[in-house]
Structure 1
Amino acid sequence: MSDWRPRLIASDMDGTLLRSDDTVSDATVVELERWRASGVPVVLATGRPPRWMRRIREVLGSGTAVCCNGAVLLDLERFEVVEEDALPPDVLRSITAGLRREQPGTWFAVEYGLEFRHEPVYQPRWDVDAPGVAEAPLEEIVAAPAAKLLARHEDMDRDSFVALVQQVVGDLATVTTSSSDALAEISAPGVTKATGLARVAATHGLGPEDVVFFGDMPNDVAAFDWVREGGGRAVAMAQAHPEVLAAATDVTGTNDDDGVAAFLASL
């Protein structure tokens, strides 16, 4: 694949495109713009909700972002939701009730595109006082369709908790994680970064064989599998989770060493 060049560049954000200080380096911006100028679209694929995309929009400007692990497609230029695959209220009620029975110390929050609601006991780590963020009782949280359900436990370790959530949820939804904490991210059945990327690629007349995708956490594995099995390049950051490293076709430097820019420059 020495002469292979991507026709679409896709990247996770946290731990991948973004450095530890939550910024994108000038070198990375220059490299992405170089590819864009040659007609290669750049797509962000993140667990972040749309409301967390305003700052990256100021840096990259335009394009489509795959948000909420594939549940939401966001037009960055217009800052409008293009598509959304939501969890319906009956499924939200079933999952939260089952998890609360199995592990009473589980607390919940939901992403509704630009809005975020969490139980009073749930301890959000970011955006505590941001616009659109509010406390609400569980019965209110699950009363409307949600792009992503978050389940958190303050005492269990991450892998044990996520495994428990997967067992309880079964085929009602898709479960993944992108956090170092015991936080499970729950989306509609079959919805992953892979499905979101596939929809965006199709709008450009492209398939997985045309894509290079960069990632670092378990919520990137589905997209890695889609790209790798289709003949594209799935590139793990040097500090990536072991599951990501195992699914990769290539490994680049860390996010703090501008690994994305370095790999793209090598092509």
Structure 2
Amino acid sequence: MSDWRPRLIASDMDGTLLRWDDTVSEATVAELARWRAEGVPIVLATGRPPRWMVKIREVLEVGTAVCCNGAVLLDLESFTIVDEDALAPAVLQDVVTELRRRLPGTRFAVEYGLEFRHEPGYHPRWDVNAPGVATAPLEELVTAPVAKLLARHDDLDAAPFVTTVEEVVADRATVTSSSSDALAEISALGITKATGLAKVAARHGVGPEDIVVFGDMPNDIAAFEWVRAAGGRAVAMAQAHPDLLAAATDVTHSNEDDGVAEFLRSL
């Protein structure tokens, strides 16, 4: 595959494209600009909600971002949501009821559109007082479709918590994780970064065999498997989660060492 070149570049943000200070290096910006100038689309595929995509527009002013682990497609230029696969209220209500019974102390929040709502016991780690963020009773959080349900537990370890969430959710929705905390991200059934990327790639007439995707956490596994199965490149960062490393075709430098740019230069 020494002469292989991508027709679409997809990258996770946190721990991948972004350094730990939430910035993108000049070298990475320049490398992405070079590929974009050659007509190769750059697509962000992130667990972040649309409201957390404001700063990245200073780096990537055009294109589509796959947000909320595939549930939302965001046009970066107009900053409008162009597609959304939502969790139905009936599923939300069943899941939160069973999780609260199985794991007392679990607290919930929801993402939808450009809004974030959390119940009083849920403690957001970022954007606590930002526009669009508000507290609401759990009963209100589950009465309308949402892009993502967040379940957090402040007293449990991450791995066993996420495993139990997966058992409770079963085949009603999709569970992913991208945090070292006991935080599970729940999307509509079958919705992953792979499904979101597939929609964007189809709009560009590109198949998974012509995609390179970068990531670092388990919520990137679906996209890695989709691309790898077709003959594309699934590139894990050096510090990536072991489960993602097992799904990768390649490994590059860490996000702090411009791993995305280094791999793209090698192509």
Query: Above 0.5 in TM-score?
Result: yes
- Match in the other structure for 2:179: 179
1:216 maps to 2:220? no
- Match in the other structure for 1:93: 93
1:246 maps to 2:262? no
Question: 1:160 is paired with a residue of what secondary structure?
Answer: helix
Q: 2:16, 2:136 → 1: CA distance?
A: 33
Instruction: Name the amino acid aligned to 1:119.
Output: E
Q: 2:113, 2:4 → 1: CA distance?
A: 36
Instruction: Name the amino acid aligned to 1:200.
Output: V
Alpha-carbon shift at residue 58 of structure 1 (Å): 1.5
Q: How do residues 114-153 of structure 1 correspond to structure 2 at under 5 angstroms?
A: 114-153=114-153
Instruction: Name the amino acid aligned to 1:235.
Output: V
Q: Deviations over 1:80-121 (max 9, x none)?
A: 101000001111101000100101110000001200000101
Alpha-carbon shift at residue 32 of structure 1 (Å): 0.1
Q: CA RMSD in A?
A: 0.4
Question: 2:59 is paired with a residue of what secondary structure?
Answer: helix
- Match in the other structure for 1:50: 50
Q: 2:221, 2:94 → 1: CA distance?
A: 26
Alpha-carbon shift at residue 14 of structure 1 (Å): 0.1
- Match in the other structure for 1:67: 67
- Match in the other structure for 1:200: 200
Question: 1:109 is paired with a residue of what secondary structure?
Answer: strand
- Match in the other structure for 2:263: 263
Instruction: Name the amino acid aligned to 2:110.
Output: V
Alpha-carbon shift at residue 144 of structure 1 (Å): 1.0
Question: 2:56 is paired with a residue of what secondary structure?
Answer: helix
Q: 1:62, 1:96 → 2: CA distance?
A: 37
Q: 2:183, 2:129 → 1: CA distance?
A: 20
Instruction: Name the amino acid aligned to 2:13.
Output: M
Give the number of aligned pairs. 267
Alpha-carbon shift at residue 30 of structure 1 (Å): 0.2
- Match in the other structure for 2:105: 105
Instruction: Name the amino acid aligned to 1:91.
Output: V
- Match in the other structure for 1:26: 26
Q: 2:58, 2:31 → 1: CA distance?
A: 16
Question: 2:152 is paired with a residue of what secondary structure?
Answer: strand
Instruction: Name the amino acid aligned to 1:162.
Output: V
Question: 1:126 is paired with a residue of what secondary structure?
Answer: coil
Q: TM-score, normalised by structure 1?
A: 0.99
Q: 1:2, 1:158 → 2: CA distance?
A: 39
Q: TM-score, normalised by structure 2?
A: 0.99
- Match in the other structure for 1:12: 12
Give structure 1 regions of 4+ aligned residues with deviation exceeding 4 angstroms: none
- Match in the other structure for 2:40: 40
Q: 2:49, 2:123 → 1: CA distance?
A: 17
Any gaps of 5 or more consecutive residues in structure 2? none
Question: 1:60 is paired with a residue of what secondary structure?
Answer: coil
Instruction: Name the amino acid aligned to 1:102.
Output: R
